[in-house]
Amino acid sequence: MKLRPPLTLSFPRQEGFSLLEMMLSMLILTLVMGVVFEQLGTAQYRTINEQSKLDDFQQVRDFVDQFFRDINQIGDPNSRIFDLSGGTWSPALASPVINDSRFAIGLVKIDNNAIQFEASVNGISTVQSIQYMVNGSGTCTLCLQRSQVDKITGDPLTGQSSANWGTEVNDMVSNPIFKYFDTTGTQITGLPVDISTTAGANTIATVKTIQINLRVNDPNVIDLQTGKPIEGVFEGEVSVNNCSMASSGQAMSCN
């Protein structure tokens, strides 16, 4: 009886990755992951930039809305709508009447980066002296600030109580912020102009339109594409119902 040789099984030869192949695979994976993370970082940074732009725009828009609301009340209540020749006023009318705390003179001073005027903005006919000015408080060189104080009987330009600086827009780089135009659309130059002189009062009485340009440059957030700080711009224009009490016999923009 012949014995059969032992049965042997044959399998295909299996080979693993070589060290070079593994290193090449790891290199490719690292490069791919690097690109993915870079894109994620860029997307996140862009999101931060857009949020910064949105925050700046919202801040500026709220400020401009406040400015427009104030301007729409300029010169109200005005002595020109009252008969000052008759009746008894208690207390007696101030002399000149533009100093009387019960009346709003309207525009007081205009400048490239500042404006001062009188208006009733609290809804109860109390007249306020209102100012918008860059660095009004003297402690914020790139801030456009707003002040509102109740008018007291005295010179509208020099005789009012100390300003009360509050609402502001930060990181301002606009210059000029304000531009002024008369009834013909001609820009008023030679600023600043105020009511302290007859010529100044007559010029202020012709102001019909005010343009405002706010450019905000945030140094803390850098745009990846330009390498410069994020910048936001807001422009607006408001028509003024200007019946200035500072001018007598002068044709005014409200006529």
The domain segmentation of the chain, as residue ranges, is 38-81+96-239
Query: Does the pLDDT value for residue 47 go beyond 80?
Result: no
- pLDDT (0 to 100) of residue 109: 95
219 preceded by a cis bond (ω within 30 of 0): no
d(CA 144, CA 132): 7
User: Over the stretch 34-44, which tens digit does the pLDDT of each residue have?
Assistant: 777 677 666 66
**For residues 154-178, average pLDDT:** 89
- pLDDT (0 to 100) of residue 188: 95
**For residues 73-86, average pLDDT:** 79
d(CA 177, CA 67): 12
Q: How many CB atoms lie within 10 A of CB 232?
A: 20
- pLDDT (0 to 100) of residue 91: 84
Q: Which residue has the higher pLDDT, 124 or 72?
A: 72
Please tell me whether residue 49 adopts helix, strand or coil conformation. helix
User: Over the stretch 94-118, which tens digit does the pLDDT of each residue have?
Assistant: 888 889 999 998 999 999 999 999 9
Q: Which residue has the higher pLDDT, 38 or 209?
A: 209
pLDDT, averaged across the chain: 82
- pLDDT (0 to 100) of residue 153: 93
Amino acid identity for residue 162 in this structure: S
